[in-house]
Structure 1
Amino acid sequence: MGISKGLLENMRIAIIGGGISGLVSAYKLSPNHEITIYEKSAEIGGLLSSYHREKYSIEKYYHHFFSGDTSFLNLLKELNLSDRILWLKGSTGTWVSGTLYPLTTPFEILRYPHLSLYDKFRLALFTKKAKTFDTIKLDTISAEKFLTEQLGEKIYRSFFRPLLNSKFGQNAEKVSAAWVVSRVAIRSDRSLGGERLGYLDRGFSLFIKAISEKIKECGGEIRIRTPVISISRDENGWYVNGEKFDAVVATIAPGLLRETGPDIPEVPYQGAACLTMGLVRPVTQGIYWINLYDDAPYGAVIGHTCFAPRDWYGEDIVYLASYYSGAPSPHLKEKMIKDFCRKFSVRNEEILWAEMASDPYAGPMYLAGYKELMKTVSVPGLVLAGMFSEENYPERSIEGSVRAGLRAADEISHMARKMEVNM
């Protein structure tokens, strides 16, 4: 990925956004170039940033990775973090009509009363086939149409529709079938004991610290609390907040990028609100991931310490996840806590702490036809990378963001070599 030393060895490069893609591109380019990262928040990492408690750090938004995430795993190896990788089992369950049903083992699935044995058989076959579907052909088809044709109205309404509602709300009927198939396929690495998921010993703050230190060691500058107000270009180069650069990598959402000046097509995004709580006791019956089918101001409950060891924290960590379009519901934090306490029989005094993180641009909405829309997102001369880019299609992930950052660094390298040949 690096550029051979030469006339353009010390290009000045601005990177807009200190999330995964921005950090990865900075890491790859900083050995040969002068890098400046602009991050509007008080901490780098984007959606992978953490709360820093007295005795531990915990991600603001729940995360894990998969055994097929080769680019991320290679990056961890480069950063000497391979020995910190843990492969853990992720158990699952569903909350329906006031009852929590474990759905991890074959026996638990067979006992689930809201689908017939025939429905469960069809669902199992569909899951097994998920990796064989052509997502390109499915991009323009709605998930509702595709799933109804594949599995029937009952399975769609009782199993998939609540999941789509919790993830996409009012846009559930417009979501691409490519997203659903990809989602099912990526989560099919299962054994009899549950899904095999990757995590880092003591959390992802270790990764953020390691990669940012490498960037700084090479002379890279990370400017936190520094939003980008303007981006422009003339015959002499690019200007970010009035400061001159030779090239710019933008990893923020197109909607935010438009506000800084470049004329870029709009991409539909949705927001995420994630409540993280420290509790005195476990409350999810040992289940890591619970999808809620009942009405609630959140769509999923993630029992983090049913996944990562409780000993790291000295308390139980639970996430409540909600997605929204536009703005989150007023007083959402209070609504979440009240509903959670009622459903899971938790007293207020059993909540040791609670923090809400919210991002109106948490990720793109993969509506039918998204792939063609994605092709139109470009600004001449500006290198774009992030969750809206091809590497994160048709489902965003840590792996996709890493690959987007690598591709951005490669584009800058190619640009520099071409300019050097022409000089």
Structure 2
Amino acid sequence: MLDNSSIDHHYFSNNRNKITSHIAIIGGGFTGLTAAYQLTLQGYRVTVLEKEKEVGGLAGSFEVNGEKIEKFYHHWFTNDKYLMELVKELNVEDQVTYRTTRTGIYYANNFFNLSSPLDLLTFKPLHLFNRIRLGFFILWVRRLKNWKKLESINAHKWLLKICGKQVYQIVWEPLLRGKFGMFAESISAVWFWNKVKLRGGSRNKDGGEMLAYYRGGFAALAERLETEISLNGGEIKTNITVQGLVVKSDYVVAIQTSQGLINVDAVIATPALPIIADLLAPHVSSEYVDRLRQVQYLANVCLVLELNRSLSKTYWLNVNDPNFPFVGVIEHTNLESQETYGGRHIIYLSKYLLETENLYNINDEEALNYSIPYLTKMFPEFSRDWIIDYHLWKARYSQPIVLNHYSQLIPEATTPLKNFYICTMSQIYPEDRGTNYAIREGRKIGDFVGKQIQSVKLNN
């Protein structure tokens, strides 16, 4: 993905001292923040440009009873190596809490716990043979290394072949359709392999799922990064919109923003590829722009409820009911104590969908009214008077649609503009998007751009 061949050494010939090189990073999510952090550690002058009022990207937050919490549910796994390394480097390991959580499935109007191997063996909707078959499949996937063999296989065909019809129809098909809708049968087996492998690897000694959370939420970790960037001489500008590029001879010399021009020596762009395509379109070939647009995305809506009591003891409830509009019910306060939020129980109702669908375009109250009958059906004791407050959050570019041979769709980090680089969640592969990999890719692009500038300095 990273290629030195497009770097024109002449451009940097005047940058004798690397500190004089100014690098702008578009986007203040964890990819952009980590890239900025990595570059400031090397002594570069960096400015992060974030359109929202605070950094964090899809891990952005809001307040519940004075405490920040993510707009879209977040946790991390115990095997999230890059996140753990960063936390250790920032000397904030004491801010990470660990908890064994419960995972379940809502199927045929019943709740089933699927947190441990024993739960799987007692999962009555499957015949005993198929329960064992499913268990062996999960173990096998965790040990499967050569994912490239899966690139030409659709997940649904792969799962049908290995797990059989009953396991597929009861366990996997509802999740695929709930996540990807009309694209469900086109999703690559690589995407599914990674999801099962990652979640299956975050276990305690008894086989139960163990998850981690950061005190103060991911916003607190983003703020910690922001502080380090500032201490290292970097600058973060929020509430600023990137409106265009000033390009001369295939080099970006300035960024046009809502706060005026910003002169640059290099640019790293971290938003979704369609946004980057719009930005580059006046300056590069239409063929290149079309290539950036080949990756498609699903949007997400997340209705967050603040309740005066708990819905259940399950943290992550997969909804395997095609009539229910949300793919998951995530009770955050079964991961982080409700005492953190003044005794309020936090529920996320998540739905991936096309941005043209009605649910994506309705307002907060309409979304709540739409959801309550489904919640009441699932939890008959639920009452509207349980709701203290509610919030609706939307993300247009939430989930890249990972098709067969997706690796061939991923653009390189380098672009036709010789000092403009891209590093986005759509380039995380074979893994799927996530804070852990955003940090990995942010470090990687930061090191790459820094080394290119430094190598030019040494050659001139």
Q: TM-score range by the shorter chain?
A: over 0.9
1:403 to 424, 436, 440: 440
Going from structure 1 to structure 2, the CA distance change for 1:140 and 1:239 (only over 3 Å counts) comes to: farther
Residue 190 of structure 1 aligns to a residue whose secondary structure is: coil
Asked if residue 352 in structure 1 is aligned to residue 394 in structure 2, the reply is no
Contact 2:252 2:267 (8 Å CA) reproduced:
no
Structure 2 CA distance for aligned equivalents of residues 156 and 55 of structure 1: 43
Q: Which residue number in structure 2 is paired with residue 366 of structure 1?
A: 402
How many percent identity over aligned positions?
Answer: 29
Structure 1 CA distance for aligned equivalents of residues 377 and 238 of structure 2: 39
1:184 to 193, 196, 199: 196
| Structure 2 letter corresponding to 1:46 | G
Counterparts of residues 61-72 of structure 1 (less than 5 Å): 61-72=72-83
Q: Name the stretch that deviates more: 223-232 or 308-317.
A: 223-232
Structure 2 CA distance for aligned equivalents of residues 280 and 349 of structure 1: 9
1:333 to 367, 376, 393: 367
1:309-350 deviations in Å (ceiling 9; x for gaps)? 222111111111110123342436232244224422321121
Q: Which residue number in structure 2 is paired with residue 229 of structure 1?
A: 243
Going from structure 1 to structure 2, the CA distance change for 1:106 and 1:417 (only over 3 Å counts) comes to: closer
Going from structure 1 to structure 2, the CA distance change for 1:237 and 1:418 (only over 3 Å counts) comes to: farther
Q: Which residue number in structure 2 is paired with residue 318 of structure 1?
A: 347
1:218-258 deviations in Å (ceiling 9; x for gaps)? 33222222221213431464321143210000111111111
Structure 2 CA distance for aligned equivalents of residues 53 and 333 of structure 1: 19
Counterparts of residues 14-33 of structure 1 (less than 5 Å): 14-31=24-41, 32-33=43-44
Alpha-carbon offset, residue 422 of structure 1: 3.1
Residue 361 of structure 1 aligns to a residue whose secondary structure is: strand
Contact 2:300 2:352 (8 Å CA) reproduced:
yes
1:393-415 deviations in Å (ceiling 9; x for gaps)? 33122111001100110111111
1:93 to 70, 80, 104: 104
Structure 2 CA distance for aligned equivalents of residues 409 and 377 of structure 1: 11
Contact 1:85 1:201 (8 Å CA) reproduced:
yes
Asked if residue 8 in structure 1 is aligned to residue 18 in structure 2, the reply is yes
Asked if residue 198 in structure 1 is aligned to residue 212 in structure 2, the reply is yes
1:290 to 317, 341, 362: 317
Q: Which residue number in structure 1 is paired with residue 268 of structure 2?
A: 249
Asked if residue 417 in structure 1 is aligned to residue 459 in structure 2, the reply is no
| Structure 2 letter corresponding to 1:339 | Y
| Structure 1 letter corresponding to 2:101 | G
Q: Which residue number in structure 2 is paired with residue 160 of structure 1?
A: 172
Contact 1:89 1:193 (8 Å CA) reproduced:
no
1:351-378 deviations in Å (ceiling 9; x for gaps)? 1111111111012111112111115675
Going from structure 1 to structure 2, the CA distance change for 1:11 and 1:378 (only over 3 Å counts) comes to: closer
Structure 2 CA distance for aligned equivalents of residues 74 and 105 of structure 1: 28
Q: Which residue number in structure 2 is paired with residue 110 of structure 1?
A: 121
Structure 1 CA distance for aligned equivalents of residues 430 and 101 of structure 2: 24
2:336 to 284, 308, 312: 308
| Structure 1 letter corresponding to 2:272 | A
Going from structure 1 to structure 2, the CA distance change for 1:144 and 1:55 (only over 3 Å counts) comes to: same
Structure 2 CA distance for aligned equivalents of residues 13 and 377 of structure 1: 15
| Structure 2 letter corresponding to 1:411 | F
Structure 2 CA distance for aligned equivalents of residues 228 and 164 of structure 1: 36
Going from structure 1 to structure 2, the CA distance change for 1:141 and 1:416 (only over 3 Å counts) comes to: same
Residue 212 of structure 2 aligns to a residue whose secondary structure is: strand
Q: Which residue number in structure 2 is paired with residue 171 of structure 1?
A: 183
Q: Which residue number in structure 2 is paired with residue 343 of structure 1?
A: 378
Output the TM-score relative to the length of structure 1. Answer: 0.93
Deviating beyond 6 angstroms after TM superposition, the runs of 4 or more aligned structure 1 residues are: none
| Structure 2 letter corresponding to 1:243 | I
1:97-140 deviations in Å (ceiling 9; x for gaps)? 22222222444333322111100101000100113332111022
Structure 2 CA distance for aligned equivalents of residues 282 and 26 of structure 1: 40
* Aligned length in residues: 417
Structure 1 CA distance for aligned equivalents of residues 17 and 183 of structure 2: 51
Structure 1 CA distance for aligned equivalents of residues 459 and 74 of structure 2: 45
Going from structure 1 to structure 2, the CA distance change for 1:419 and 1:115 (only over 3 Å counts) comes to: same
Asked if residue 393 in structure 1 is aligned to residue 422 in structure 2, the reply is no
- Structure 1, unaligned stretches of length 5 or more? none
Q: Name the stretch that deviates more: 408-417 or 233-242.
A: 233-242
Alpha-carbon offset, residue 6 of structure 1: 5.7
Residue 330 of structure 2 aligns to a residue whose secondary structure is: strand
Residue 229 of structure 1 aligns to a residue whose secondary structure is: strand
- Structure 2, unaligned stretches of length 5 or more? 1-14, 282-287
Residue 204 of structure 1 aligns to a residue whose secondary structure is: helix
Structure 2 CA distance for aligned equivalents of residues 26 and 358 of structure 1: 26
Asked if residue 278 in structure 1 is aligned to residue 306 in structure 2, the reply is yes
Structure 2 CA distance for aligned equivalents of residues 371 and 394 of structure 1: 11
Residue 259 of structure 1 aligns to a residue whose secondary structure is: helix
Contact 1:14 1:36 (8 Å CA) reproduced:
yes
1:131-155 deviations in Å (ceiling 9; x for gaps)? 3332111022100111111111221
Residue 300 of structure 2 aligns to a residue whose secondary structure is: strand
Residue 99 of structure 2 aligns to a residue whose secondary structure is: strand
Q: Which residue number in structure 2 is paired with residue 53 of structure 1?
A: 64
| Structure 1 letter corresponding to 2:153 | I
1:238 to 247, 253, 258: 253
Q: Name the stretch that deviates more: 352-361 or 100-109.
A: 100-109
Going from structure 1 to structure 2, the CA distance change for 1:323 and 1:129 (only over 3 Å counts) comes to: same
Alpha-carbon offset, residue 45 of structure 1: 0.1
Output the TM-score relative to the length of structure 2. Answer: 0.86
